[in-house]
Amino acid sequence: MKSEITQKLGFTLLFFCILIMLFFLGVLVYFVASKGFSVLSWNFLTDIPREGMTAGGIAPAIVGTLYLTLGSIIFSLPLGVACAIYLCEYGPKSYVVNIIRISINNLAGVPSVVFGLFGLAVFVKFFGFGVSMLSGSLTLGMLVLPQIISASQEALLAVPQSYREASFALGATPWQTIKKTTLPAALPGILTGTILSIGRVAGETAPIIFTAATFYMRGFPDSVFSEVMALPYHIYALMTEGTHPEQQTQIAYGCALILLLLVLSVSAIAIIIRQKQRKHYG
Amino acid sequence: MDNIAAMRVENVNFFYGKKQALRNINMEIYKNQVTAIIGPSGCGKSTFIRLFNRMNDLVPNTKVEGKIYLDNKDILYPKVNVVKLRRKVGMVFQKPNPFPKSIFQNVSYGLEIKSKNKDFIKEQVVKSLKRAALWEEVKDRLYDNALGLSGGQQQRLCIARCLAVEPDVLLFDEPCASLDPHSTRRIEELIQELKEYYTIVIVTHNLQQASRVADYTAFLYLGELIEFGETGRLFTVPEDKRTEQYITGKFG
């Protein structure tokens, strides 16, 4: 009897926790949507900012964020997957590899502003890329690299050993086994990791403050060496600079809403790809 | 019966770390015959059979001593090309493990590694599926996912996949352990048919299965080869007391 009551109490508590979570999620979406909705218009999405950020649109920021996200993933996805393959499939199960693994996990915990400073010192100054889309993409790529490596490693470890054995038993080399069996089977998991990274990259502010972002641009970036506007930084700038706080706040919420929608739709695309892959690879 | 040795095992010892799993094993595997390896769980049967295609290489922290000759070459020699070896010595595993690919791709997997000739691959796939007695059941759905097949069909697909690379020796590691009696019988019939073309080694914990399919039987106990001989003889007049106790169900 007593155990039943405890159980009921426990489950009720768990349910309550879910409710709290849903409540905050709902409030967040409602808050951003209701405040940002009023400024949304076709013009807002396609025009450049005008009249000292108080009118016009945010098109360069949207495009900038897309470019930065894409750039960072192009850089970090292949590198991250390659590292994971080495660590899981090739690397000797040694002390050194273990240290590398721990270091990567620690890297994931480094605050993003530190990556920003690192990007400033290395990509902007040392390599001389300047404050540019390239520097920003590389910095963001560095930031998500550990996340992609960890996710890819987990995905590779989750591939049943029986697949590898079957492949080896047919006379495949380790390389052929990875290419034809292990990697395709791990792909859905790797994509999940990438989805999470995309969300993070698109929303990061600190790493791009010093490396890529600019408050205002007349048009769109024309090369990888030009500065870009980006949504998260634009929100930050709107809330901290400028001379018309009221209009700017409204626009900032509009930006936030667009950023949310952007991240959600990119994730949705990735989820669809993942589902297709999963169907293929059971 | 005049038997030619396809493989010869000489003084083989095997260690997992410090634990010895196989102790000084000597025996011959005869060409175009079925050799069964029986024994209670943990006696080293699977470890033993996995030496023939060097599958134990994948297990870290192991050590092997002794020699196994195939075509007069010691396959345990560290510098042996295991990729080549495994194309000569195919293996079917305990649990059917088709790739999550189409039926066709499963069979062509081992071929595509070596050959780019599409016609040859196709021909070989059909031939292998026929030989594995699966063709009639799958000929209309070669491009469906192999995971949609039943357990017994999956296991025959795994056999077809092995046959496609044209090995000389086929290793079966408890191939029916996860199959129903009907599928088991089909696999056993298939093994009987296949010995015309291949030398077959089968590990099984099922004594009836050994007596049904095997020409020769080896009894392994605690990593030692207790007795090896013609199946009929070993099951009727075992020479060793432990063999007798095992086959009469005193332990196991």
Among A195-199, B70-74, B135-139, which stretch is predicted with the lowest mean pLDDT? A195-199
Residue B21 lies in a domain: yes
Query: What are the phi and psi torsion angles at B36 (to 5°)?
Result: -100, 145
Distances (CA, A) of A96 to A85, A92, A160: 16, 9, 25
Among A69-73, A136-140, A209-213, B157-161, which stretch is predicted with the lowest mean pLDDT? A209-213
Q: How confident is the model at residue B252 (pLDDT cuts 50, 70, 90)?
A: low
DSSP letters spanning B180-233: -HHHHHHHHHHHHHHTTTSEEEEE-S-HHHHHHH-SEEEEEETTEEEEEEEHHH
Residues in chain A, how many? 282
- For residue B106, pLDDT beyond 90: yes
First to last CA, chain A: 44
CA separation for the pair B200, B7 (Å, rounded): 11
- For residue B114, pLDDT beyond 90: no
Task: Using an 8 Å CB-CB cutoff, list chain B residues near A162.
Answer: 93, 95, 97
Cβ atoms B56, B64 nearer than 8 A: yes
pLDDT recorded at residue A40:
85
CA separation for the pair B242, B250 (Å, rounded): 9
pLDDT recorded at residue A193:
81
Chain Cα centroid distance, residue B138:
24
pTM: 0.82
Task: Using an 8 Å CB-CB cutoff, list chain B residues near A185.
Answer: 100
- Interacting residues of B97 by C-beta distance below 8 A, sequence separation 6+: A160, A162, A163, A165, A166, B158
**Domains, chain A, ordered by start:** 61-280 (1.10.3720.10)
- Helices A183-203 & A133-157 angle (0-180, nearest 10): 140
Among A77-81, A194-198, B68-72, B147-151, which stretch is predicted with the lowest mean pLDDT? A194-198
Residues in chain B, how many? 252
More confident residue, A241 or B62: B62
What's the structural domain count of chain B? Answer: 1
Which position has the token pair 């993933």?
A: A73
The string of pLDDT tens digits covering residues A271-282 is 887 777 666 654
Residue B66 lies in a domain: yes
Q: Which residue of B53, B99, B165 is in closest CB contact with A163?
A: B99
ipTM for the predicted complex comes to: 0.91
Kindly give the residue spans of alpha helices, DSSP state H, lying in A160-244.
Answer: 161-169, 174-177, 183-203, 206-209, 231-240
Cβ atoms B121, B115 nearer than 8 A: yes
The pair of three-digit structure tokens given for residue B98, joined into one six-digit string: 């088709």
Q: How confident is the model at residue B115 (pLDDT cuts 50, 70, 90)?
A: confident
- Longest pairwise C-alpha distance within chain A: 72
CA separation for the pair B81, B197 (Å, rounded): 24
Among A34-48, A116-130, B87-101, B168-182, which stretch is predicted with the lowest mean pLDDT? A34-48
Q: By residue range, what is the domain housing residue B71?
A: 5-95+164-247
Cβ atoms B65, B12 nearer than 8 A: yes
Residues forming beta bridges with residue B53, ordered by sequence position: none
Residue B101 lies in a domain: no
The string of pLDDT tens digits covering residues B186-227 is 999 999 999 999 999 999 988 999 999 999 999 999 999 999
Q: Which residue of B83, B90, B162 is in closest CB contact with A173?
A: B83
**How does the average pLDDT of chain B come out, rounded?**
92
Residue B102 lies in a domain: no
Residue B179 lies in a domain: yes
Distance from CA of B93 to the nearest CA of A (A): 8
First to last CA, chain B: 31
CATH code of the domain in which B232 resides: 3.40.50.300
Task: Using an 8 Å CB-CB cutoff, list chain A residues near B87.
Answer: 170-171
**How much is the CA Rg of chain A, to the nearest whole Å?**
23
Query: What are the phi and psi torsion angles at B119 (to 5°)?
Result: -65, -45
Q: Do B60 and A169 touch (CB under 8 A)?
A: no
Residue B118 lies in a domain: no
Q: Which residue of B83, B99, B145 is in closest CB contact with A171?
A: B83
Q: Do B165 and A281 touch (CB under 8 A)?
A: no
Q: Do B55 and A281 touch (CB under 8 A)?
A: no
CA separation for the pair B175, B204 (Å, rounded): 8
Query: What are the phi and psi torsion angles at A163 (to 5°)?
Result: -65, -45
Residues forming beta bridges with residue B36, ordered by sequence position: B202, B217
- For residue A130, pLDDT beyond 90: no
In one letter, which amino acid is A140?
Answer: L
- For residue B123, pLDDT beyond 70: yes
Distance from CA of B132 to the nearest CA of A (A): 16
pLDDT recorded at residue B2:
63
Burial of A202-238, coded b for 16+ CB within 10 Å and e otherwise, reads: bbbbbbbbbbbbbbbbeeebeeeebbbbbbbbbbbbb
Q: How confident is the model at residue A243 (pLDDT cuts 50, 70, 90)?
A: confident
What is the mean predicted confidence (pLDDT) over B123-152?
93
- For residue B25, pLDDT beyond 80: yes
